Structure 1
C-alpha cells in the first residue's frame, strides 16, 4: 500500500450522492435555503421535466438563523410540484415534500428521522452510473493525499461491497475497506472478516477488490436496546464490531455490550480472525465518541477498544455545541488528549460527506480547537493519527 493519509470512517455511496445533489451547506437562513432549492428546481425542471426527483443535501437546522427544519409546506412552495428530498448534513434525517412522500407510500411529506427503509425507495441512478460516481469520489480522495479509507455505512451488504470493488477497479489509487451492517452479515455467504471481495464488472477493466472490515452496529434512533444483540450476532460470525456512539448513554450501553460479548482471545480466534490475521483479530471500535465521561474513557482503555473520531466536528459545530451543551458537557466533548493519555488507540477520519475528507483540516482542528482546549494534541501526534504507518 502506498504511503499517504487514511480516512478511517466515511461513506462512499453517500459522497457519490452528494456529487449529484443540490448543495445547500452554505445556507445561513431559511430564506437562503429555500431560495437555493427554488432556483435548482426551476433550472432542473427546464432540463429534466417536472416528474424528475430533486435531491438537495447539506442543511443543518442548528446552524440556520431560525434553528429549525423547513416545513413540508415551505418545501412544497419552492419545488414546483416535483418530488423532492432534502437531506440533513448528518445523513440521519431528511425532509420530503408532499409529492415525494406520496410516491414513497406516505400520506404526505414530513421529516423522516433514521428512516433509511423509506428513503431507500427514492429513485437513484443505475448501478453503472453509481460505480462511476464512487470512482469519482475515490479520485477526490487520492487528490487530497488519501490512499486508504474505510467505508462505515451500516447498510452495507455483499452487493454494496461488490459495487465498491468495481469503483476501485476504475480508481485503484485508494485502498478500500468496508464495514458490513451487523444485521446483514448473512449476505456474505462464505466471505468473512478480513477477506477481499472482488467486483462483478464485465467491462473488461481489471476487477478491483474491497477488504471486508468490521461489523457496523448502528442503534436505532433514541433506542439503544438492540446494541447487545447486534454485537452478539457479529461475534457469531467472527467479526469485531464498530459501534456508532454520539452520546454518553449510548456509550454506556455499548461498553456494557462489549463487556458481555468480548472478542475471543488470541488462542481461541474465530474463523474470521484466522483468515484475516492468524491468531488475532482487529480491536473493536467506537465510532465518533462525541461525548464521554472520564470514567467511560477508563472503561474504553480497559477493554482495549479503538476510537475512530472526527476532529473537525468540534470546530465546524462549535457554535451549535455552545448553544446546546452545558459548560461541563463541553469539556467532555470529542476527547483526544484524554484518549491518548490512557493508551487508547485513536484514528482520525472525516465522516464524509458530513465533513470534507481533508487531513489538513483534521490536524488543524486537533491542534487548535477552542472548545475543551485541554484536549488539544501536538501536530506530530495528530499527523500520525491519520497517516498510514
Structure 2
C-alpha cells in the first residue's frame, strides 16, 4: 500500500505539532517501508490522503476488553441516562429478552436521597422484571443481584463467593466466580475490536486484575482467529505467565486497591518486590487519596522499577504529584471522566479535593510521564472524547473542573501515542516502525479545532486496512484487499 500526500510530522523524532510536510508512505510486510516522494509500484494500492494527518495508531492504555464485549449486550443503568429509582425500574422493565438481564454503569447517585446502599436484592425483587438480574456498579467491583439470580448462582449447593452479602444481594470482587457459575467462557471480542478500530485504535492495554493463564490463552486465540485485531499489552495476576508473541505482551502485575479494605501493607510490599524481582512492573489502581498514599508508601519501600504505574490517580494533591515524580512513576489517567462524571463529582467530592481531580498539566509540569486510557466499559472507549475533555475540562452541564489542568490538543493527542509497553516513549510514523496508523480526513491544524471520532478516515493495523470511511476529497487507486470491520 502507498499512502500519498499525507501530512507528517514527528517521524524524525520531533513531537507532533501539526502543519508538517506532505509526504508519501509505503507499507510493506506489516511495517513502514519508506517515506518520501515515492512512485507507485505495480499492483500497489494507492491512497490519496489529500493532506490528511497521518498518525501512529492510537493506543488505549487502560481498558477491560472482556467487560467491554459483555457490555454490548447489557442494559446501561447509570447517569445521565438513568437519574433515579423510577428511571432505573423503567430501564430494567424495558430490557429485551427473558433470560439473564445484565446491567452496567450503576452509580449511587441514581439513588438520590435513598442512600448509597439503596440498590439491593429486595429492591430488584420488588421493582425489576421477573427474571434473573445482575447489575454492576460502574466502579467494576460490585454486582447487585436479585433473588432469582442468587438462587441460580447458588443452585446445587455451589460454594458462595468469598465476599457475598446474601441479604442485600451484593457480590464484591466476584467476577471470576460469576464467570465460572454462568458460562465459564470468555465473550467474543470481534464486535468490540471492530468498534475500537473505527476510532483509530490499533493497540490496547488490558488492565483487568484477575487476568490469568486462561485469559491470556483466550486473547491469543482471538488474535490468531482475527476476531481481536489490536496489539495487546496485558496486566493481571502476579502468576500471569509471560508471552513470546509480539502482538500480546504480558507486562504488569495489577494491584487493585480499595481504601475501605486496604490489603496488608507488608504483604503488598512483598508482592511489589516479588513482581520487580521477576522483571515485571506493577500497575496500582488508585481512585482515592488514601489508596494513592498507601501505594506510594509501598512502592517507596519496595523500591520502584522502571515502568511502575499509577492507574487513575483520581485525587492527587501537589505533595503526591511530587512524590510520583521522585519515584519515577508513570500515571495513566482518564480525562473523559471529568466530562462523563464531573457533575456527580461536584455534588459528591469534598470541595477541598476538587482541585486535585484527574489532573493532567500538573503531572506533565512535574516531569511525570502521562498517558490515558478509557477504563472501558466503565468509561466511554472513545479516545477522541477523552482528548476533547482533556482540552476543555468541562462537565456535561458545562462546568469547568480544574481549568489549570487543561492540555493543548497536541498534549491531549500525545496521551494516546505512547508505546504500549512504555507509555513514556512516543511512537512516530517512521521507516521500520509497525504499519499501525490512523489517517485523519484533514490536516492537524483543522483537526485540533474539533477533536472527535469523525476525524478518522482510515485505520491500518500491521499494514492492513481495518476500517475505512470514504471522503469526497480523497482518491483511491488500485485493487488491494480491504478488510472493513463495519
Calculate the TM-score normalised by the size of structure 2.
0.66
1:177 to 212, 225, 233: 233
Cα separation, partners in 2 of 1:63 and 1:314, compared to 1, 3 Å = farther
Secondary structure at the aligned position of 2:131 is classed as coil
Secondary structure at the aligned position of 2:314 is classed as coil
Which fold has the larger relative contact order, with Cα–Cα distance below 8 Å and residues 6 or more apart in sequence? 2
Secondary structure at the aligned position of 2:189 is classed as helix
- After superposing the two structures, state which structure 1 stretch, 71-80 or 348-357, moved more: 71-80
Q: Please identify which structure carries the higher helix content.
A: 1
Are the aligned partners of 1:248 and 1:292 in contact in 2 as well (CA < 8 Å)?
Answer: yes
Alignment match, 1:333: 357
1:137 aligns with 2:178: no
Alignment match, 1:273: none
Alignment match, 2:122: 73
Equivalent residues in 2 for 1:38-117 (5 A)?
Answer: 38-40=93-95, 43-45=96-98, 52-63=99-110, 65-66=112-113, 68=116, 69-102=118-151, 103-104=153-154, 105=160, 107-116=166-175
Are the aligned partners of 2:259 and 2:288 in contact in 1 as well (CA < 8 Å)?
Answer: no
Cα separation, partners in 2 of 1:223 and 1:108, compared to 1, 3 Å = closer
Question: Displacement of 1:109 after TM fit?
Answer: 4.9
Task: Write the distance in 1 (CA, Å) between the matches of 2:83 and 2:363.
Answer: 34
Alignment match, 1:260: 301
Alignment match, 1:243: 284
Equivalent residues in 2 for 1:152-231 (5 A)?
Answer: 152-169=207-224, 170-171=226-227, 173-182=229-238, 185=239, 187-188=240-241, 191=242, 195-197=243-245, 209-220=247-258, 222-226=260-264, 227-231=268-272
Cα separation, partners in 2 of 1:63 and 1:315, compared to 1, 3 Å = farther
Question: Displacement of 1:172 after TM fit?
Answer: 5.3
Question: Displacement of 1:115 after TM fit?
Answer: 3.8
Are the aligned partners of 2:189 and 2:227 in contact in 1 as well (CA < 8 Å)?
Answer: no
Question: Displacement of 1:263 after TM fit?
Answer: 4.2
Cα separation, partners in 2 of 1:89 and 1:326, compared to 1, 3 Å = closer
Secondary structure at the aligned position of 2:251 is classed as strand
Task: Write the distance in 1 (CA, Å) between the matches of 2:307 and 2:417.
Answer: 19
- After superposing the two structures, state which structure 1 stretch, 106-115 or 372-381, moved more: 106-115
- After superposing the two structures, state which structure 1 stretch, 212-221 or 89-98, moved more: 212-221
| Structure 2 residues without counterparts, runs of 5 or longer | 1-29, 32-55, 155-159, 394-399, 419-426, 428-486
1:365 aligns with 2:389: yes
Question: Displacement of 1:197 after TM fit?
Answer: 4.9
Equivalent residues in 2 for 1:270-289 (5 A)?
Answer: 282-289=306-313
Alignment match, 2:85: 30
In terms of Rg, which structure is larger?
A: 2
Question: Displacement of 1:64 after TM fit?
Answer: 5.1
Task: Write the distance in 2 (CA, Å) between the matches of 1:100 and 1:220.
Answer: 26
- After superposing the two structures, state which structure 1 stretch, 105-114 or 171-180, moved more: 105-114
Task: Write the distance in 1 (CA, Å) between the matches of 2:291 and 2:271.
Answer: 14
Question: Displacement of 1:135 after TM fit?
Answer: 2.2
Task: Write the distance in 1 (CA, Å) between the matches of 2:352 and 2:259.
Answer: 25
Alignment match, 1:205: none
Question: Displacement of 1:81 after TM fit?
Answer: 4.1
Question: Displacement of 1:152 after TM fit?
Answer: 0.4
Are the aligned partners of 1:150 and 1:179 in contact in 2 as well (CA < 8 Å)?
Answer: yes
Alignment match, 1:321: 345
Question: Displacement of 1:221 after TM fit?
Answer: 5.6
Alignment match, 1:10: 63
Are the aligned partners of 2:85 and 2:110 in contact in 1 as well (CA < 8 Å)?
Answer: no
Secondary structure at the aligned position of 1:44 is classed as coil
Are the aligned partners of 1:23 and 1:57 in contact in 2 as well (CA < 8 Å)?
Answer: yes
Cα separation, partners in 2 of 1:126 and 1:30, compared to 1, 3 Å = same
CA displacement 1:242-266 (0-9 Å, x = unmatched): 00111111111111111111246xx
1:291 to 310, 315, 329: 315
Are the aligned partners of 1:22 and 1:55 in contact in 2 as well (CA < 8 Å)?
Answer: yes
Q: Please identify which structure carries the higher strand content.
A: 2
Q: RMSD of the alignment, in Å?
A: 2.3
- After superposing the two structures, state which structure 1 stretch, 303-312 or 158-167, moved more: 158-167
Calculate the TM-score normalised by the size of structure 1.
0.81
Give the length in aligned residue pairs. 342
Secondary structure at the aligned position of 1:86 is classed as strand
| Structure 1 residues without counterparts, runs of 5 or longer | 46-51, 199-208, 265-281
